[in-house]
Homo-oligomer: A and B are copies of this chain.
Amino acid sequence: MHFSDKLAAVIKAKNSCLMLGLDPNWEKLPVHLKIGDSLQQKADIYETFCTDMIGACADKVCGVKIQMGYFEALGSVGVKAVENIIAFTRKNHKELIIMIDAKRGDIGSTCAAYAKAYLGNGPLGADSVTVHPFLGADGLEPFYAYGPKKGVFVLVKTSNPSGSQYQASIYEQIAKDVEVAGKRGKNGWSYLGAVVGATNGDEIAQARSLMPSTWVLAPGVGAQGGKIEDVLAIRGKDGLGVLIPVSRSVLYAGNGEDYLEAAQVEIEQLWESQKIN
Contacts and interface: CB of A to CB of B under 8 A. Distances in A.
Contact of A114 (B69, B114, B120): B69
Nearest to A114: B69
Interface range, A side? 35 or more
Contact of A39 (B106, B123, B133): B123
Interface string A99-138: 0000111111111011011101011100000001111111
Contacts of A162: 135-139
Contact of A107 (B106, B136, B159, B170): B159
A251 to B, nearest CB: 13
Interface stretch (A11-19, A70-78, A233-241, A256-264): A70-78
A187 interface: no
A243 interface: no
Interface in A124-161: 124, 132-139, 155, 158-161
A83 interface: yes
Given A136-B163, A165-B136, A76 B73 contact: no
